Amino acid sequence: PAEVGAQAPPLLALRDLLADDRFPGLFARALRAADPDFRELFPRDATPVLREFVRAMTWAFETTEYAHGDRSKVEEVVEFARDLGADHRKLDLAPRHHQRFGEALTHTLRHLAGRGWDDRLETTLATAYRVLSTALQQGAAAGEGPARVGATVVEVLRPTRDVVVVRLISDVMVDYHPGQYLSVLTPYSPGVWRRLSPSIPSNPAGQIEFHIRDVPGGALSGSLVRGVGVGDRWVLARPLGLLEVDRSEPFRDVLMIGGGTGIAPLRCLLLDMMRHGHNPRVHLFYGARFPGDLYDLPTLVDLAATAPWLTIQPVAEEDEDPWWAGPRQELPRTLHRRQTGTLVEAVTQWGSWADRQVIVSGSPEMLRATVRGLVAAGTPRENISFDRP
């Protein structure tokens, strides 16, 4: 059994149980036993999907616990669940699915806690799940438009050995806001939805572009990067996400920080800003491990050449590409010389950026390190926007 802190607040004790390495496997088995429909929704390789669930629940539990009575924080969690419920229309869930999901969750956490499980944990979990489940079902009921849209891969580009740029045309226009992400179902991991951020704004032609990196140990990204080809059929679901540039006047300058393929939603925001005649100033830090991994730098430099309000600062953790990387495209010169170091080091050496609206996009690890570093440098936490895991 996992160790449960007797003095820990119940929500944080539940969070710690979710963090147990055994949770995804045990929960997947409990779900498949709870309802036959879950065998398709949660296949044997469902660990990546359930890790996303753990990250979302961890955020919800921590936000609620640390709200200290602030109703706006609690409502933020509920609103997130409603948005997620609208996205879950793609799964065609019935009320019994929500009930059995909750029963499987309770069974798994009770098993992990062993003798540490008590009435306070049982009651807290039941209350939290009832609130979240209700919000999920409300979001699904209020959803508009098609729950799913088909799309065809029309072009595949491979700018580096582990990054693929996939261009599709959807059967009907997918109406998303710049900076949002879509749930995507591909033939490379049947039954598994993953979230991808478009790198170009929504358009009547139905053109969509995604950037995907082959993450070491990532079963979903690896199969997609290796298997994608022209003519493949994908399924796209409702857009989600909160990244946006505040255009209310007087304009507040913007700091954007993008790591790896996290540049995609920021690029989408920048392309949308190009449609406007007047914009706030934007300072974009674009980072990767090696210089050659800054695959989208040529496009960003072209944008900056026609946008006097945009400044590009490239950053790479290493000064040179490794020998095994193979031939790379020659990177264009930028107004600011490429810096060597992590993104958070590069950004914070310029100061606190306390007067900017800050938008961060990248891997979960990059997000945690960057947000933590910005706050430590003096950036007000409320000025920082990033999508929840």
Domain spans of the chain, in order of start:
10-142, 148-240, 254-385
Q: What is the pLDDT of residue 50?
A: 80
Q: Which of 186, 256, 262, 184 is nearest to 227 (CA)?
A: 186
Q: What is the pLDDT of residue 326?
A: 62
Q: What is the pLDDT of residue 280?
A: 95
Across 50-59, 175-184, 263-272, least confident range: 50-59
Please say whether the dihedral angle defined by the alpha carbons of residues 59, 239, 208 and 386, taken in this order, is positive or negative: negative
Q: What is the pLDDT of residue 147?
A: 82
Is the pLDDT at 90 greater than 90? The verdict is: no
pLDDT single digits (tens) 16-50? 999 999 998 899 999 999 998 888 777 666 676 78
- φ/ψ of residue 165, rounded to 5: -105, 120
- Residue 214 or 146, more confident: 214
Q: What is the CATH number of domain 148-240?
A: 2.40.30.10
Fold match between domain 148-240 and domain 254-385: no
Task: Report the 10 Å Cβ neighbour count for 129.
Answer: 20
What's the burial of 142, exposed, middle or buried (CB within 10 Å: 0-12/13-18/19+)?
A: exposed
Across 168-182, 209-223, 232-246, 371-385, least confident range: 209-223
Is the pLDDT at 102 greater than 60? The verdict is: yes
Q: Tell me what the pLDDT averaged over the chain comes to.
A: 89
Q: What is the pLDDT of residue 2?
A: 54
Percent of the chain with pLDDT over 90: 63
Cα angle 351, 283, 157 (rounded to 5 degrees) comes to: 130
Q: Which helix (H) or strand (E) holds 153?
A: strand 148-160
What DSSP letter does each residue of 188-255 carry, written as one string? TSTT-EEEE-BSS---TT-EEEEEEE--TT-HHHHHHHHH--TT-EEEEEEEE-------PSSP--EE
Q: Which CATH class is domain 254-385?
A: alpha beta
Cα angle 193, 198, 203 (rounded to 5 degrees) comes to: 120
Percent of the chain with pLDDT over 70: 92
Q: Which fold has domain 10-142?
A: Globin-like (1.10.490)
Longest dimension (CA), the chain: 65
Is the pLDDT at 127 greater than 90? The verdict is: yes
pLDDT single digits (tens) 289-328? 999 999 999 999 999 999 999 999 999 999 888 867 666 5
Is the pLDDT at 335 greater than 70? The verdict is: no
Q: What is the pLDDT of residue 96?
A: 93
